[in-house]
Amino acid sequence: MHKTIREAVDLASRLRKKLTGPLDRDVAIAPSFTALYAVAEALKGSEIQLCAQNLHENIRGEGAYTGEVSAPMLVDAGCEYVIVGHSERRTLFGEKDEVINKKLRTALKFGLRPILCIGETLDEREEGRTSAVIERQIKEGLNSFTVDDIRNIIVAYEPVWAIGTGKTATPEQAGEVHAFIRQVMGKNHGQDISSNLTIIYGGSVNPDNISALMAQRDINGTLVGGASLDVESFIRVVRS
């Protein structure tokens, strides 16, 4: 919940100027709902893509859900991606795996590429339940999805215990969980899905730790939080 429309457009415009020419990586930014259309206009003709932070799960794409935002609205605003199951949605707003499963299904139906966020809390990590939590979130989040569905989903591992707690996940810890995610995906959905799945890391990503994170074999990219609010900081992450 950062940036007014004017501030978001300014950030997007400065990013566009800095990231010129063909990009050898995918870059997307996720402004607040109110700024989506204006930012889409500012990004027209660039290779930077637009992502929404959330969506409502109703599969019809409309209805009596005052205050919610539907998948067709996001597509109409110019979005290509949507974040689903972010740790703050899970912990602050009580979103359960069943709802997240519905949101993923709705996003795919309307042509959005969802970024499924999974991760354990500090208590779960200290109790040794990381693997169990991750496996449950994957299994229930992707319940009844076809292989073709899963090909269009990105998984983001964001350890809740490393966000705002003063604790930091080491690149090795992040890498271990990414490898476990790939293992679970292989067991549940086949080796082809496991090998080709895009898994990104989110958890206090910044210019100082990006190189070490990206050196991990199973980390394919990052979901950047606070560091994305500053153009120079975000550019350094993108270019690493």
In the chain, where the domains are located: 5-238
Average pLDDT score over the chain: 96
Q: Supply 176's token pair.
A: 């271990």
Cite the active site residues. 86, 158
Rounded Cα gap, residues 156 and 85, in angstroms: 10
Element (H, E) at 75: helix 71-77
pTM of the model: 0.97
- 164, pLDDT greater than 90: no
**Are the beta carbons of 186 and 193 closer than 8 angstroms?**
yes
Q: How high is the pLDDT of residue 21?
A: 78
Q: How confident is the model at residue 18 (pLDDT cuts 50, 70, 90)?
A: very high
| pLDDT one-digit tens code per residue, 26-42 | 999 999 999 999 999 99
CA nearest neighbour of 43 among 7, 9, 76? 9
Q: Average pLDDT of 156-163?
A: 92
Q: How confident is the model at residue 163 (pLDDT cuts 50, 70, 90)?
A: confident
DSSP string computed for 163-219: SSSS----HHHHHHHHHHHHHHHHHHH-HHHHHH--EEE-SS--TTTHHHHHTSTT-
Rounded Cα gap, residues 85 and 117, in angstroms: 5
- 168, pLDDT greater than 90: no
Q: How high is the pLDDT of residue 14?
A: 97
Torsion from C-alpha of 39, 45, 48, 54, nearest 10 degrees: 40
Instruction: Report the CATH number of the 5-238 domain.
Output: 3.20.20.70
Q: Is the dihedral of CA 59, 65, 68, 70 positive or negative?
A: positive
Q: How confident is the model at residue 12 (pLDDT cuts 50, 70, 90)?
A: very high
| pLDDT one-digit tens code per residue, 203-232 | 889 999 999 999 999 999 999 999 999 999
Rounded Cα gap, residues 80 and 26, in angstroms: 12
